[in-house]
A and B are shown apart, each in its own frame.
Chain A
Amino acid sequence: MRWWVGKLCVLLLFIILPHAVGTYYVSLAIKMLIFAIFAMSLNLLVGYMDLPSLGHAAFFGVAAYAVAILSKNGVESVWLNLMLGIGMAGVVAAIFGLLALRTRGSYFFMITLALAEVLWGVAYRWRYFTGGDDGIPGIARPDLGFIGWSLGDATIYFYFVFFFFTIAYILISTFMHSIFGHIVVGIRENELRMRSLGYNTWLYQYVLFIISGLFAGLAGSLSAYFNGFVSPADLSVRVSAEGFLMVLFGGAGSLLGPAIGAGSIVLLKNMISAFTARWLLILGMIYVFVVMFAPQGVLGIISKLRLRNGPKHQLALGRQHL
Chain B
Amino acid sequence: MGYWIVQTMNGISFGMVLFVIAAGLSLIFGLMRIVNLAHGCFYALGAYLAIAILQWTGSYFLSMVAGPCGVAILGMIMQRFFLHRFPKKPLSQILLTLGFVFILEDLALLIWGGEHREIPKPPLFAGVLEIGDMSFPTYRLIIIATGILLAIGLWLFQEKTIMGATVRASVDDPEMAGGLGINVPALFTLIFCLGSLLSAFGGAMGGLLTGIYPGAEWEVLLLAMAVLILGGLGSLKGAFLASLFVGLVDNFGRVLIPNLALFTVFAPVALVLAFKQTGFFGK
Residues of A within 8 A of B (CB): 46, 52, 54, 98-100, 102-103, 105-107, 109-111, 113-115, 117-118, 120-122, 125-126, 237, 241, 244-245, 248, 278, 280-281, 283-288, 290-292, 295, 321-322
Which of B's residues lie within 8 Å of A, judged by CB?
A: 29, 33, 35, 82, 85-86, 89-92, 94-96, 98-107, 109-110, 218, 222, 225-226, 229, 258-263, 266-267, 269-271, 273-275, 277
- A203 vs B270: C-alpha distance when bound (angstroms): 20
Known interface pairs A103-B277, A288-B99. Does A322 touch B89 (Cβ–Cβ under 8 Å)?
yes
A291 neighbours in B (Cβ, 8 Å):
86, 92, 95-96, 99
By a CB distance below 8 angstroms, the chain B residues around A321 are: 91
In the complex, what residues of B have CB within 8 A of residue A103's CB? 273-274, 277
Contact, CB under 8 Å: A111 / B274: yes
* Separation of A32 and B184 alpha carbons in the complex (Å): 46
Question: Contact: A52 with B94, CB < 8 Å?
Answer: yes
| A118-B266 contact given A52-B91, A286-B99, CB 8 Å threshold | yes
A105 to B266 Cα, complex, angstroms? 19
A residues in contact with B262, CB < 8 Å: 117-118, 120-122
Partner of B96, one of A102, A114, A118, A287: A287
Which residues does chain B contribute within 8 Å of A288, judged by CB atoms? 82, 96, 99-100, 103
Give the CA-CA distance A125 to B96 in the complex, in Å: 31
CA distance A283 to B100 in the complex (A): 10
Between-chain CB contacts (< 8 Å), 17 pairs: A99-B271, A103-B273, A109-B94, A114-B269, A114-B270, A115-B270, A117-B222, A118-B267, A122-B259, A125-B258, A126-B259, A237-B218, A280-B106, A281-B110, A283-B99, A284-B103, A322-B86
- Nearest B residue to A129 via CB reads B259
Name the B residues within 8 Å of A280 (CB-CB): 102-103, 105-106, 109
- C-alpha spacing A292/B85, complex, angstroms: 9
Q: Is the CB of B273 within 8 A of A241?
A: no
Residues of B within 8 A of A290 (CB): 95
B105 partner residues in chain A, CB cutoff 8 A: 280, 284
Say whether A115 contacts B266, CB under 8 Å. Answer: yes
Residues of A within 8 A of B261 (CB): 121, 125
Instruction: Give the Cβ gap from B282 to chain A, nearest Cβ, in Å.
Output: 12
Query: Which chain A residue shows the least CB distance to B269?
Result: A114
**How far is A118 from B269 in the complex, measured between Cα atoms in Å?**
11
Query: Would you call A117 and B266 a contact (CB within 8 A)?
Result: yes
Complex contact B99–A125 (CB within 8 A): no
A287/B102 in contact, CB under 8 A:
yes
B279 to chain A, nearest CB (A): 11
Partner of A248, one of B95, B104, B106: B95
A114 touches B266 (CB 8 A): yes
Give the nearest-CB partner of B222 in chain A.
A117
Q: B273–A110 contact, CB under 8 A?
A: yes
B33 contacts across to A, CB distance below 8 A: 106
When chains A and B are docked, how far (Å) is the Cα of A254 from the Cα of B105?
A: 32
* Cβ 8 A contact of A281, one of B103, B260, B270, B273: B103
A106 touches B106 (CB 8 A): no
Contacting residues, chain B, for A245 (C-beta < 8 A):
95, 98
Verify B273–A111 contact, CB threshold 8 A. Answer: yes
In-complex Cβ contact of B103 among A46, A99, A113, A285 (8 A):
A285
Query: Do A287 and B263 touch (CB < 8 A)?
Result: no
Which residue on chain A has the smallest CB distance to residue B92?
A322
Residue of A nearest to B105 (CB): A280
Interface contacts beyond A54-B94, A125-B261: sample of 9 additional A-B pairs, CB < 8 Å, sorted by A:
A102-B277, A114-B269, A118-B270, A248-B95, A285-B99, A287-B96, A287-B102, A291-B86, A322-B95
Residues of B within 8 A of A111 (CB): 269-270, 273-274
Determine how close the nearest CB of chain B comes to the CB of A297; give it in whole angstroms: 11
Min Cβ gap B263→A in Å is: 5
Rounded to whole Å, the gap between the CB of B184 and the closest CB of chain A is 21
B95 pairs with A110, CB closer than 8 A: no
Tell me the complex Cα distance, A65–B213, Å: 26
How long is the Cα–Cα vector from A319 to B261 in the complex, in angstroms? 41
Chain B residues near A106 (CB, 8 Å)? Answer: 29, 33, 35, 90
A54 to B33, CA, bound (A): 18
Partner of B259, one of A125, A281, A284, A322: A125
Supposing A106-B90, A287-B102 touch, asked if A125 and B35 sit within 8 A by C-beta, the answer is no
Q: Establish whether residues A284 and B225, one from each chain, have CB atoms under 8 Å apart when the complex forms.
A: no
Q: Do A244 and B98 form a contact, CB below 8 Å, given A111-B274, A280-B105? A: yes
Nearest CB of chain A from residue B255's CB, rounded to whole Å: 13
Among B102, B261, B263, B271, chain A packs the most CB atoms within 10 A around the CB of B102
Q: In the docked arrangement, what's the CA distance between A321 and B93, Å?
A: 12
Smallest beta-carbon distance B273→chain A, Å: 5
A99-B273, A106-B90, A125-B261 given; A244·B266 CB < 8 A? no
**Does B106 contact A99, Cβ atoms closer than 8 Å?**
no
Chain A min CB distance to B112 (Å): 14
The distance from the CB of B99 to the nearest CB of chain A, in whole angstroms, is 3
A121–B250 alpha-carbon span in the complex (Å): 13
Q: Which residues of B contact A122 (CB under 8 A)?
A: 259-260, 262-263
Q: How far is the CB of B84 from chain A (nearest CB, A)?
A: 12
Partner of B90, one of A105, A114, A120, A287: A105
Closest residue on chain B to residue A248 by CB atoms: B95
A109 touches B35 (CB 8 A): yes
Residues of A within 8 Å of B86, CB to CB, are 291, 322
Q: Is the CB of B92 within 8 A of A295?
A: yes
